Amino acid sequence: MIKHILTMLYNQKKKFTAVIFEQVLVFIALSVSLAVTLDLFRSYRSPGMLDVDNVIGFGYLVNKNHDGQAFVKSAEAMDAVKEKLEKKPYVEGISECLQILPYQRPAKNYWADSVSFASGKKVYAHYKVADEAAEGVFKLDITRGRWFRDGERVNGLAPAVITEQLAAASGLENPVGKIVYWRGQAYSITGIVSGVKEAALEEALPCIVLPFSFMGPTGVYEELAARVKPGYEDDFVNDFYLEWNRAIPGNQSDPYLTLLYEGEKASMESSIIQLIAVGIPALFLLLFTLIGTVGINLMDVEERKRELALRMACGASRRSVMNLVILQNVLITGLSSISGIIVILLSFPWETSLPVVGFTVVLTLALSVLCALYPAFKVFGMKPAELLKEE
């Protein structure tokens, strides 16, 4: 039967070329949409997502109209503001940090540099600065070792924490207790965290976290993060600006404040919009292809009704003739999928492309059966004697 169908398709290739071409496009469009969705889901579920619920980022930026003491005055003012805010009953913790706040800038704009290990291995990694309080403010997932303490020395060296991504890139089996070098300065690794993600739907990059107590503010700006009790975000915002206006002399520094969970939401929304932009054309293409495939199958059954009637007159059951119509459509879909499978396997990593291809093949074959059901059911209405008499 399959050989007969393939021969028939070859003899009528002009009629079915458009159907095959449409189904190739549908397969590729569906696969790309599914691959993008799967990649986004995996990225979202990947380790390193910071807990930013009820976390507020704030700080200052020294503006252009400043005197020579603006950097020192701004840092001192922020220390005073931080001390006042930490006493508020709704504040659970405040961390002084740099470049660790997520969703504030594109990944390419976060600080990055090479770090090296005693083995000579060099890795390009993002680097961040944080204090002891950052562990509780962001609820960091420490997988090995521990977070560093403010002002501590480990074997005479400043401490540092690295992410699992950097640990994997280092090639060390257990980096805890080992030495890592950043800009010629040696640090002792006290712990490893699962990751520090900078965007909700991107995977965490290799990263090293250095202690704020040894780095200090940059002078130009300073970042802090406060975890507050649920429902007290507005109170914190009001108290921050009140304390800042009291502490800062003049207007040589501009305060800023951001609700980090809103940044997470905005980060996810932009990726979802991109996903919709990919998925909607694919769905419309699928709809038009389904309508076109049903139409071509109806035309094919109408053109071949005498051939099908002859088969039934020779003893073929109506069910076997129906199966012939359905199998023909399934074979067309199968042949169309070959090109799509090759394109997807070459375009995406195996861990993404293989499940996507498998799901898309099953889906398109199931849809091809559905498209052939109505034309196939028209076989039940055939009257072989009358059709052959007309012949």
Task: Give the pLDDT band of residue 308 (cuts 50, 70, 90).
Answer: low
| Alpha-carbon separation of residue 336 from 30, 36, 54 (angstroms) | 13, 22, 51
The pair of structure tokens assigned to 34 is 């599914």
| Alpha-carbon separation of residue 359 from 32, 229, 285 (angstroms) | 12, 44, 18
Residue 90 phi/psi, 5-degree rounding, is: -90, -5
Whether residue 157 is predicted with pLDDT greater than 80 in this model: the reply is yes
CA distance linking residue 80 with residue 364, whole number of Å? 64
CA distance linking residue 192 with residue 209, whole number of Å? 10
Interacting residues of 141 by C-beta distance below 8 A, sequence separation 6+? 47, 48, 193, 194, 195
Residue 115 phi/psi, 5-degree rounding, is: -120, 150
Between 199-203, 327-331, 360-364, the lowest mean confidence (pLDDT) is in 327-331
Is 139 or 3 the better-scoring residue by pLDDT?
A: 139
| Alpha-carbon separation of residue 162 from 143, 209, 333, 382 (angstroms) | 11, 6, 50, 74
The DSSP-derived string for 111-147 is -EEEEEETTS-EEEEEEEEE-TTHHHHTT--EEEE--
Is 224 or 271 the better-scoring residue by pLDDT?
A: 224
Question: Scanning the structure block, which residue is given the tokens 């053109």?
Answer: 303
CA distance linking residue 367 with residue 365, whole number of Å? 5
Model pLDDT for residues 114-124, shown as the tens digit of each residue: 999 988 899 99
Between 74-83, 167-176, 230-239, 310-319, the lowest mean confidence (pLDDT) is in 310-319
Task: Give the pLDDT band of residue 125 (cuts 50, 70, 90).
Answer: very high
Using a pLDDT cut of 70, give the percent of the chain over it. 77
Q: What is the pLDDT of residue 12?
A: 59
CA distance linking residue 157 with residue 216, whole number of Å? 17
Whether residue 278 is predicted with pLDDT greater than 70 in this model: the reply is no
Specify burial of residue 10 (Cβ count, 10 A radius: 0-12, 13-18, 19+).
exposed
CA distance linking residue 351 with residue 153, whole number of Å? 43
Whether residue 298 is predicted with pLDDT greater than 70 in this model: the reply is no
- Mean pLDDT over 28-38 rounds to 79
Q: What is the pLDDT of residue 232?
A: 95
Q: What is the DSSP letter of 157?
A: B
Can you say whether the dihedral through the CA atoms of 371, 376, 380, 385 is positive or negative? positive
Q: What is the pLDDT of residue 387?
A: 46
Whether residue 77 is predicted with pLDDT greater than 50 in this model: the reply is yes
Q: What is the pLDDT of residue 134?
A: 96
Query: 109-112: which pairs have CB atoms within 8 A and are 24 or more residues apart?
Result: 110/198
Question: Across the chain, what does the average pLDDT equal?
Answer: 82
Q: What is the pLDDT of residue 42?
A: 82
Whether residue 11 is predicted with pLDDT greater than 60 in this model: the reply is no
CA distance linking residue 371 with residue 300, whole number of Å? 13
| Alpha-carbon separation of residue 303 from 298, 299, 375, 382 (angstroms) | 9, 6, 12, 13
Whether residue 307 is predicted with pLDDT greater than 60 in this model: the reply is yes
- Mean pLDDT over 57-83 rounds to 82
Highest mean pLDDT among 31-35, 79-83, 350-354: 79-83
Question: Scanning the structure block, which residue is given the tokens 């390419």?
Answer: 108
3-state helix, strand, coil in the chain (%, to 5): 55, 20, 25
Task: Give the pLDDT band of residue 366 (cuts 50, 70, 90).
Answer: confident
Task: Give the pLDDT band of residue 16 (cuts 50, 70, 90).
Answer: low
Task: Give the pLDDT band of residue 13 (cuts 50, 70, 90).
Answer: low
CB 165 within 8 A of CB 117: no
Three-class secondary structure of residue 72 per DSSP: helix
Between 127-136, 181-190, 277-286, 374-383, the lowest mean confidence (pLDDT) is in 374-383
- Mean pLDDT over 337-355 rounds to 81
Can you say whether the dihedral through the CA atoms of 27, 28, 32, 33 is positive or negative? negative
Q: Return the axis-axis angle of helices 2-11 and 318-347, rounded to nearest 10°.
A: 70
CB atoms within 10 A of CB 210: 23
